[in-house]
Amino acid sequence: MTPESSGAGTSDLTDRGTHDAELHGVWLRRYPLRLGARASEHYESVYRELALLASSDDGPRVPGPLLELHEEMDRRSARNNASEQVRDEALSRGEDSLDIELHVPADVVGVAQRVEQLLDEADAFCRDGTLLTLEPSRDVVEFRRWYIGELVRQVDGEAPRPWPGELR
């Protein structure tokens, strides 16, 4: 972690194959720590359920979009550990929000947009009972849209926008 100011941390979300690619700094301003943790917990539950379904020969067939989401989450999960560590350290200090800088390749835009579509489909499967994991709360979905939106906007050259919601 390289603090730029009090309450700031950095994280590298590069893919193993993109070390030579140009990286873009993306700032997540006023990142809501508790909400970010709840969102991570929800998506980890979805991931675990997808992993169980994908590995089962006797269980229900995993719908194509869910299998694609499981594979994408599997490829990306290790890279998210650094930002989650920064978040968890700030939570343990009693902080409510944090400015976090991510270093991402330009191709994160297409991946992030596809993951957003797949997570929307996963939400629908949670809602209709295809998955046992409960549907995410509205604030978790809003957080996800803000997070992915910031990746896309800032890689496209726009200025960061802080989290606009509550810090719960």
φ, ψ for residue 23, nearest 5 deg: -100, 145
- Whole-number pLDDT of residue 118: 84
Mean pLDDT to the nearest integer, 35-62: 80
| Residue type for position 101 | E
For 132-163, write each residue's pLDDT tens digit: 999 999 999 999 999 999 999 999 999 999 99
Q: What is the pTM of this model?
A: 0.79
Q: Please choose, from the candidates 84, 88, 87, the residue with its C-alpha nearest in 3D space to the C-alpha of residue 76.
A: 84
Confidence of residue 63 (pLDDT cuts 50, 70, 90): low
d(CA 64, CA 87): 32
Total H helices, total E strands in the chain: 4, 3
Burial of 36 (0-12, 13-18, 19+ CB in 10 A): buried
Burial of 79 (0-12, 13-18, 19+ CB in 10 A): middle
CB neighbourhood size of 129 (10 A): 8
- Whole-number pLDDT of residue 83: 74
- Whole-number pLDDT of residue 70: 59
H-state helical runs in 13-135: 33-55, 64-92, 108-128
For 89-125, write each residue's pLDDT tens digit: 999 999 999 999 999 898 888 888 888 888 898 899 8
Mean pLDDT of the chain: 80
> Between these two residues, 66 and 136, which has the higher pLDDT value?
136
d(CA 12, CA 23): 9
Mean pLDDT to the nearest integer, 27-45: 94
> Between these two residues, 49 and 15, which has the higher pLDDT value?
49
> Between these two residues, 83 and 151, which has the higher pLDDT value?
151
